[in-house]
Amino acid sequence: EAQVTQNPRYLITVTGKKLTVTCSQNMNHEYMSWYRQDPGLGLRQIYYSMNVEVTDKGDVPEGYKVSRKEKRNFPLILESPSPNQTSLYFCASSLDFSYEQYFGPGTRLTVT
């Protein structure tokens, strides 16, 4: 089954404790992206990757890191999480940025 998987689905953590949210796709897509979604603000792009080893900042990259060492995986790293990073996070992939994006199920992160 073609899909984007994210783990964990739910995470409660404390300020400053490094965490990684994994994202993996099995559709051989070149383009991958991370979004956060907050009430009233819609989807905001954090980082995106056009292909392996190529990543770029989205609209809200501060406090986040990513890496794209292989095509299928695109982890999101929070080195020192803060409460303002409490949000719903989605990973997405597509053939190209101008094509349909397929979303993972989401990760609900709470930072206390």
Task: Give the residue with the Cβ less far from another protein, 42 or 62.
Answer: 42
Does residue number 103 form part of the binding site for another protein (CB under 8 A)? Answer: yes
| Residue indicated by tokens 């689905």 | 9
Task: Give the residue with the Cβ less far from another protein, 74 or 90.
Answer: 90
Does residue number 1 form part of the binding site for another protein (CB under 8 A)? Answer: no
Cα-based distances in Å from 73 to 6, 14, 40, 86: 10, 26, 29, 23
Of residues 31 through 60, those in contact with another protein by CB under 8 A are: 31, 33, 35, 40-45, 48, 50, 56, 58-59
Beta bridge partners of 76: 21, 66
Cα-based distances in Å from 103 to 43, 66, 76: 12, 17, 15
Interface with another protein (CB under 8 A), residue total 23
Task: Give the residue with the Cβ less far from another protein, 9 or 79.
Answer: 9
Structure tokens belonging to residue 33: 């992206």
Q: Among 20-28, 62-70, 75-83, 99-107, which window interacts with another protein (CB under 8 A)?
A: 99-107
Q: CA 100, 62, 71, 28: dihedral to nearest 10 degrees?
A: -10
The one-letter amino acid code at 24 reads: S
Q: Kindly list the residues in this chain that would bind another protein in the complex (CB under 8 A).
A: 31, 33, 35, 40-45, 48, 50, 56, 58-59, 90, 97-98, 100-101, 103-106
